[in-house]
Amino acid sequence: MRYTLVGNGRMGQQVQSVIEASPEHEVHAVLDVDAAITAGSFAGSDVIIDFTVRDAFLANLPAMIDSGVPVVVGTTGWDDQVERISAQAREAGASLMYSANFSLGVNIFLRTVREAAKMIGSFDQFDIAFSEQHHTAKADFPSGTALCAAQMILDANPRKKTVLSALSEDRKIRPDELQVASIRLGSVFGQHAAHINSDFDDIVISHTARSRQGFASGAVEAGRWLATKHRSTPGFYTMDNFLDEVLG
């Protein structure tokens, strides 16, 4: 499988080393910030993996779609555009897979949080909040993973209606607001936690990334899966679709 990588930062380099460690895969090209990207930039490639920044991803997307090569997007910070872009990909007969987090561990964690949020929804005594910690070079907040978890909690728990990502100095949080707190600290790879509280107990469900390798391995596996999917059923996919298929 020949991969073209868009972005050569922390994640681009980690994806490159995962691909180079596998006899089945090869890096076809790496397109960094200086590349003038057109549809032709992806010729000869089986999969594109994008780890850049919101604006670069949005600017390069038309060329990626026009190339007809399936695209795995790890870049976060564009959740407000997901509906428009998924429709655009479907209309073009392209394949695009987006996840704010390609780590298998994180996706298992997210499903656990969803189940917990659903269960506590039946009992008024429980409150829930979410937190994330990342390195100080991270551009977006809350993390894409935290936003994804927050949406799952809002969908699962009728007592939470909106996300509050920054507290106000002059008012209390409302019971129907879900606090999503962000900490930027040193070189933390990524830590996410759901915090549940009642008068009787505290439940904390958490995931801590031990390196960037889990994100990168997941993105490479997702690329292999998407390339196969693209041949039979092009479309817009997420890690949920991938996991549903793998888990049967």
Ligand X SMILES: O=C(O)C1=N[C@H](C(=O)O)C[C@H](O)C1
Ligand Y SMILES: NC(=O)C1=CN([C@@H]2O[C@H](COP(=O)(O)OP(=O)(O)OC[C@H]3O[C@@H](n4cnc5c(N)ncnc54)[C@H](OP(=O)(O)O)[C@@H]3O)[C@@H](O)[C@H]2O)C=CC1
* Nearest-5° Cα angle at 228, 224 to 231: 145
Q: Does 74 bind ligand Y (CB under 6 A)?
A: yes
Quick one: 189 exposed, middle or buried, by C-beta within 10 A (0-12, 13-18, 19+)? Answer: middle
Binder among 144, 214, 218, 234 for ligand X (CB under 6 A): 144
- For the record, the structure tokens of 120 come out as 């506590």
From the list 30-38, 59-67, 139-147, 224-232, the region that binds ligand X by CB under 6 A is 139-147
Number of residues near ligand X (by CB under 6 A): 10
Shortest approach of ligand X to residue 176 CB, angstroms?
25
Locate the DSSP E strands across the chain.
2-6, 26-31, 47-50, 71-73, 96-98, 127-134, 162-164, 177-184, 191-197, 202-208, 236-237
Binder among 4, 5, 7, 178 for ligand Y (CB under 6 A): 7
Binder among 19, 69, 97, 102 for ligand Y (CB under 6 A): 102
**Residue 95 near residue 89 (C-beta atoms within 8 A):** yes
Shortest approach of ligand X to residue 140 CB, angstroms?
6
Residue type, 160: K
**Residue 227 near residue 70 (C-beta atoms within 8 A):** yes
Binder among 8, 45, 67, 217 for ligand Y (CB under 6 A): 8
Number of residues near ligand Y (by CB under 6 A): 25
Q: Which residues bind ligand X (CB under 6 A)?
A: 76, 100-101, 134, 138, 143-145, 190, 215
Residue numbers in the known binding site are 74-76, 99-102, 135, 144-145
Residue numbers in the known binding site for (S)-2,3,4,5-tetrahydrodipicolinate are 135, 144-145
